[in-house]
Amino acid sequence: MTTVPARGPRGPLPTRWPLLVALVLAGLAAPVVLLPAVPGSAVDVVLTAVAVASALQLRRVARRSPEGSCWHWFARAAVLTAAGTALAVADGVRHHVAGTPPHPGVHVVVGVPVLLAGACVYGGVTRWNRGRSYAFDAGDHLNGLAALAAGTGAANLLLGNLAPGLVATWPVWRVQGWLLGCTLLVVLLGTVVTVATASRTLADVRLWLLGAGFAALLVVTVVGGHAGTPGDELLHTSWVAAVLLLALVSLRGHPVEAVQISHRAPAVGVVVLVALSVVVLAADGHGSPVVDGFPIAYATAAVALVSTRVVRLVRELAELAESRLQALTDDLTGIANRRALVARLRALADDAEGAALLVVDLDRFKEVNDRYGHVEGDDLLRVITGALEATAPAGSLLARLGGDEFALLLPDGSECGGAAVAARLVDAVTAVVRADARPLGVGMSVGVAAAAAGTLDPDDLLRRADAAMWVAKGSGGGLSVFDADADARARDRAALLADLTALLDGDEAGDGALGRQLVLFYQPQVDLASGVVVGVEALVRWQHPDRGLLPPVAFLDLVEEHGLMDRLTASLLHRAAREARGWRAGGGPLRVSVNLSASSLAHPGLLAAVDDALACSGLEPGRLVLEVTETTLMADPGLALAVARDLTARGVQLSIDDYGTGYSSLAYLTDLPASELKLDRAFTLRVLGEPRTADIVAATVGLAHRLGLRVVAEGVEDAATLAVLARLGTDETQGYLHARPLPPAEFERWLRRRSTPVAAVAAARA
Going residue by residue from 703 to 742, which x/- string records binding to Ca ion, judged by CB under 5 A? -----------x----------------------------
- Angstrom distance (rounded) from CA 346 to CA 382: 27
3-class secondary-structure state, position 590: coil
Q: Among the candidate windows 316-324, 388-396, 411-419, 733-741, which touches ligand C2E by CB under 6 A?
A: 733-741
Backbone φ and ψ of 424, nearest 5°: -65, -35
Regarding 540 and contact with ligand C2E (CB under 6 A), the answer is: yes
Binding piece for ligand C2E, criterion CB under 6 A, among 175-183, 444-452, 454-462, 591-599: 591-599
Instruction: Kindly state whether residue 551 participates in binding ligand C2E, applying the rule CB under 6 A.
Output: yes
Phi, psi of 346 (to 5 degrees): -65, -45
Q: What is the Cα–Cα distance from 100 to 581, expressed in whole angstroms?
A: 129
Ranked by CB distance to ligand C2E, the top (closest) residue is 735
Candidates 137, 363, 717, 748; binder of ligand C2E (CB under 6 A) is 717
Binding segment for ligand C2E (CB under 6 A), chosen from 28-36, 64-72, 444-452, 551-559, is 551-559
Applying CB under 6 A, among 238, 523, 571, 655 the residue interacting with ligand C2E is 523
Which of 507, 527, 566, 657 binds ligand C2E (CB under 6 A)? It is: 657
Name 359's bridge partners.
407, 447
Residue 658, interface with Ca ion (CB under 5 A)? yes
Among 556, 672, 677, 728, binds ligand C2E (CB under 6 A): 556
579 touches which of Ca ion, ligand C2E, none (CB within 5 to 8 A by kind)? none
The sign one gets for the Cα dihedral 741, 745, 746, 750 is: positive
Counting Cβ atoms within 10 Å, is residue 663 exposed (0-12), middle (13-18) or buried (19+)?
A: exposed
CB of 92 or CB of 535, closer to Ca ion: 535
261: left (phi over 0), alpha (psi -120 to 50) or beta: beta
Rounded Cα–Cα distance for residues 89 and 44 (Å):
6
Gyration radius of the chain's alpha carbons: 47
Question: Can you tell me which of 131, 153, 741, 744 binds ligand C2E, judged by CB under 6 A?
Answer: 741
Contact in structure between 470 and 441 (CB atoms under 8 Å): no
Q: Tell whether residue 676 is a contact of ligand C2E (CB under 6 A).
A: no
| Shortest spacing between CB 444 and ligand C2E, in angstroms | 35
CB 149 within 8 A of CB 299: yes
Provide φ and ψ at 360, rounded to 5°: -115, 130
| Least gap, CB of 347 to ligand C2E (angstroms) | 51
Of the candidate residues 44, 140, 657, 731, the single one contacting Ca ion (CB under 5 A): 657
**H helix or E strand, kind and range, residue 190:** helix 172-198
Strand intervals (E) in 208-322? 258-259
In the complex, the smallest distance separating the C-beta of residue 568 from Ca ion, rounded to whole angstroms, is 15
Shortest Å distance, C-beta 593 to ligand C2E: 8
**How far is residue 710's CA from residue 704's CA, in Å, rounded to a whole number?**
7
Give whole-number Cα distances, 495 to 17, 473, 563, 756, in Å: 68, 21, 17, 47
Comparison of 206 and 567: residue with beta carbon closer to ligand C2E: 567
Please report whether residue 595 would count as binding Ca ion according to CB under 5 A: yes
Q: Answer yes or no whether residue 662 interacts with ligand C2E by CB under 6 A.
A: no
Tell me the residue ranges of DSSP E strands in 223-262: 258-259
When CB distances are held under 5 to 8 angstroms depending on the partner's kind, the choice from Ca ion, ligand C2E, none that residue 735 binds is ligand C2E
Question: Is 70 within 8 Å of 19 (Cβ atoms)?
Answer: no
Stretch that binds ligand C2E, among 239-247, 326-334, 486-494, 548-556 (CB under 6 A): 548-556
Q: Is 552 near ligand C2E (CB under 6 A)?
A: yes
How many chain residues interact with ligand C2E (CB under 6 A)?
A: 21
Residues near ligand C2E (CB under 6 A):
523, 539-540, 551-552, 556, 572, 595-597, 627, 657-658, 681, 714-717, 735-736, 741
Residues near Ca ion (CB under 5 A):
595, 627, 657-658, 714
